[in-house]
Structure 1
Amino acid sequence: MEQRGEAEVPLVLLATCKEWADGEPGHAALDAALAAHGLASRWVLWDDLSVDWGMAEVVAVRSTWDYDSRLGEFLGWASGVGPALLNGVEVFRWNTDKRYLTDLQRVGLPVIPTVTAETVFDVRKAADGFGLSVVKPWVAAGGRGLEVVADGKVWLPQPGAHLGPWVVQPLVDTIHHYGETSVFVIAGRPVSQVQKLPSRTDIRVHEQFGGTSRSVELTEKAASLAAEAVATVVDLLHQEIVYARVDMMQFRGRLVVSEVELTEPGLYLDVLPLNALPFAEAIAARAYPHTW
């Protein structure tokens, strides 16, 4: 709780990193939505040792976009926050390792085919089977460490690149004209959708690599697949999923999952400021004590 005048109001801590110390892009919409629910909120660095996480009714991981280079430290922090942490450390531990895609694949969710590779020879075998392929580290964020493999038989990591282990996937050629679509699922309900396109010189849709994003109408097919993906995770992990962003691509004539972001997915508030409303509502439902 935090004191406001004579009243105490629930406190929400929004975890971020040094590069985004003021909050994720478009954070003013979330700040306003939380205030409208009567909540006090603060953006704080997840690795700031002076923060008392126990004083918050809710802790929401938002723009902690440096976790991939400090995963052990990040998971150690999350394990110490306790039940106030949305989604929680068990979900984070599973979701920050891209091998989770093979779990989803195994239980039948339509996912871009994904093979794990612990050695260069594993990568070569998988890429040779797929043809033009994409190689990614097991732990990576923001498109970092991604490589395109044209000839699996002779592939070696680029100088200074990630040295394994990896996941290998076919390069989905629809990325160039369809791009990637993302559906935001909050409190179990698909609420909005964005379409993301890469630049002409890259396959990554992230802004730092020249990608662009725009709000589009939530389609029935995308919403259905997103809801199925989150329900599948709940069945696998037996954990509550308060928020998720499900990324999808067109592959072999159908929509398939490319990522299920459950740890620190950007809400794209600069493109979809209304995402702040259901997110704040989900936080408020957990911040106020139930009296029944």
Structure 2
Amino acid sequence: MTGTAVLVSCAELPTGDGDDDVVVPALTSLGFSVSWAPWDSAFDFSSAEAVILRATWDYPARRAEFLSWCESVPSLFNSAAVVRWNTDKSYLVELLDAGLPVVPTSLVTPDSPASFPSSDFVVKPSVGAGSRGAARFTAGTDASAHVAALHAEGHTAMIQPYQSSVDTAGELALVYLGGIYSHAFSKGAMLGSTMDESGLYLAEELAPATPPADAVALAEDVLDAASALLGILRAELLYARVDVVRGADGKPLLLELELTEPSLGFSQTDAGAVTRFASAVRQQLA
């Protein structure tokens, strides 16, 4: 089943950041008519068979409006329900409560006092993308001012102990398409990186990677648990990116589960990955 596919972006990045350039010919080769459109444009999204979130990176400042738009689109991938759950990083606490090895996470609402770890730590907004609003602090620092600044902007603050393995090994991103493992790539430390000229995300150092077995096992467990919490099958997720870091004991920890509009690292993997993506789009429509 084929038809019209729309890759959804934002006004600042109307055709994405370049990583999805290969998606258009891949979808076209499988019979789709493909176009790009910012989510808040006048485009008639209801006319498309597949509306695929790819670079909607301005949503954190307009999340309520963005979610309302998502719920108005009949054929959105991933679905509006998934987007609502995944665009607030409080989902990490849910996965932690489900028994998964997640980077320890505490949430601080505007009416709650903040407690900071005894080691280096990170404070970030629970709704955010591209590491905007995230800051690293050394052990013993009082980060109350940063927490207050996030609260003043309407955010819940999220506090996590900094995982020092990121300084040497970075993060490992495992990509799943249609619920099935596709490929992986590494990401260098982002805190302290320079902002892209669009102002929407921090520039990353990416490289191809082969994930070790324990990281794959964690990613599989995370997708199963998230799907159970959402009441869906894994196959209903057009794409998923599981970001993994190593804890102080060397074991893998979930840093983030990206189900909304993650970069999928097509430029860091084999040419077959984008074909797998296009095939997964067809699977969703079938």
TM-score by length of 2: 0.88
CA shift for structure 1 position 229 = 0.9
SS in 2 for 1:282: helix
1:116 aligns with 2:107: yes
What is aligned with 2:66?
A: 74
Letter in 2 for 1:167: M
The counterpart of 1:261, out of the listed 251, 258, 262, is: 258
Bigger radius of gyration = 1
Cα deviation, 1:213-248, whole Å, max 9, x if unaligned, reads 101124332222212211111111113322100000
Question: Does 1:136 pair with 2:129?
Answer: no
Structure 2 counterpart of 1:59, one-letter code: V
1:184-199 matched pairs, under 5 angstroms: 184-198=175-189
Letter in 2 for 1:87: N
What secondary structure is seen at the aligned counterpart in 1 of 2:244?
strand
Asked if structure 2 preserves the Cα contact closer than 8 Å seen for 1:143 and 1:204, the reply is: no
Deviation at 1:204, TM superposition (A): 6.0
Q: CA deviation at 1:157?
A: 2.3
1:6 aligns to what? none
Distance of 2:18 and 2:101 partners within structure 1: 31
Change (3 A) 1:56 1:105: same
Distance 1:173 1:40, change over 3 A: same
1:24-35 map, 5 Å = 24-35=17-28
Are 1:244 and 2:240 an aligned pair? Answer: yes
Displacement of 1:153 in angstroms is 6.3
**2:273 aligned with 1:285:** no
Aligned pair in 2 of structure 1 residues 71, 159: CA closer, same or farther (>3 Å)? Answer: closer
Paired with 2:84 and 2:108, the residues of 1 have a C-alpha distance of 19
**CA spacing shift, 1:262–1:209, aligned 2, 3 Å:** closer
Q: What is the distance in 1 between the residues matched to 2:134 and 2:203?
A: 15
Question: Which residue number in structure 2 is paired with residue 16 of structure 1?
Answer: 9
SS at match of 1:63: coil
Matches within 5 A, 1:78-227: 78-82=70-74, 84-119=75-110, 122-123=113-114, 125=115, 127=116, 129-151=117-139, 154-158=142-146, 161-163=149-151, 164-198=155-189, 202=191, 209=202, 211-227=204-220
Query: Does the aligned pair in 2 maintain the 1:180–1:205 contact within 8 Å?
Result: no
2:113 match: secondary structure? helix
- Contiguous gaps of at least 5 residues in structure 1: 2-8
Partner Cα distance (1:165, 1:130) in 2: 21
- Return the TM-score normalized by structure 1: 0.86
Q: How many residues align?
A: 274
CA RMSD of aligned residues (A): 2.4
The CA deviation at 1:35 is: 1.0
Q: Which amino acid in the other structure matches residue 260 of structure 2? A: T
> Match for 1:13: what amino acid?
V
Q: 1-side partners of 2:59 and 2:242: how far apart?
A: 19
- Contact 1:198/1:206, CA 8 A, preserved across alignment: no
User: How far apart in 2 are the matches of 1:204 and 1:97?
Assistant: 23
What is the percent sequence identity of the aligned residues? 30
Q: What CA distance in whole angstroms lies between the structure 1 residues aligned with 2:264 and 2:134?
A: 23
Q: 1:209 to 1:78 in 2, by over 3 A?
A: closer
Select the residue among 273, 276, 283 that pairs with 1:275: 273
C-alpha separation in 2, matches of 1:175 and 1:276: 28
SS at match of 2:22: helix
Paired with 2:100 and 2:156, the residues of 1 have a C-alpha distance of 24
